[in-house]
Amino acid sequence: MIQRTFSIIKPDATARNLEGKILAHIQDAGLNVVAMKKIRMTKEQAEGFYYVHKERPFFQSLVDFMTSGPVVCSVLEGENAIENYRAIMGATNPADAAEGTIRKEFAENIEANSVHGSDAPETAEYEIHYFFNNLEITG
Ligand code: CMP
């Protein structure tokens, strides 16, 4: 099933100029970039994006981190894109991430973990349209 997912290359990765290397992992996995932009999130944008985590102890620190520098937001399309992207990202905590995954290779710690990817079709839909309108997504 051809599906779309939402990706963020996080501030720890953009600070180290890793956008190209991370996008190479993504494209090598057969995921097509159908929309992309580099932005600096506002506090309000980051809080709204991560609202499902608002009661978690790491929420404020996460918002501070996500607004600490630019991020690259993109929409990825391909066969089972959501699961495929989660597989190549690796576990949230890089200490648990499998060899060859993006987080194993680049992430600094459980918070500064280089990438975000949607975890389910409903969250992908919410996250894609949080940052992109339909005119910005190529067919
Ligand atoms: P992400 O996949 O973007 O979803 C929530 C983010 O919160 C996660 O990646 C990490 O950047 C951050 N985070 C920080 N601490 C934790 C934690 N203990 N468990 C899960 N996510 C965490």
* pLDDT 10s digits, 89-130: 999 999 999 999 999 999 999 999 999 999 999 999 999 999
Q: How many other CB atoms are found less than 10 A from the CB of residue 135? A: 7
Consult the annotation and say whether 14 binds a ligand. no
Judge if the beta carbon of residue 51 lies within 6 A of ligand 1. no
Is 119 near ligand 1, meaning CB less than 6 Å away? no
83 CB near ligand 1 (under 6 Å): no
Task: Copy the structure tokens of residue 125.
Answer: 């839909």
Distance CA 27, CA 115 (A): 15
Q: DSSP letter for 6, please.
A: E
The complex's ipTM works out to 0.96
Does 58 appear as a known binding residue? yes
Model confidence, pTM: 0.98
> CA 136, 14, 49: angle at the middle one, nearest 5?
55
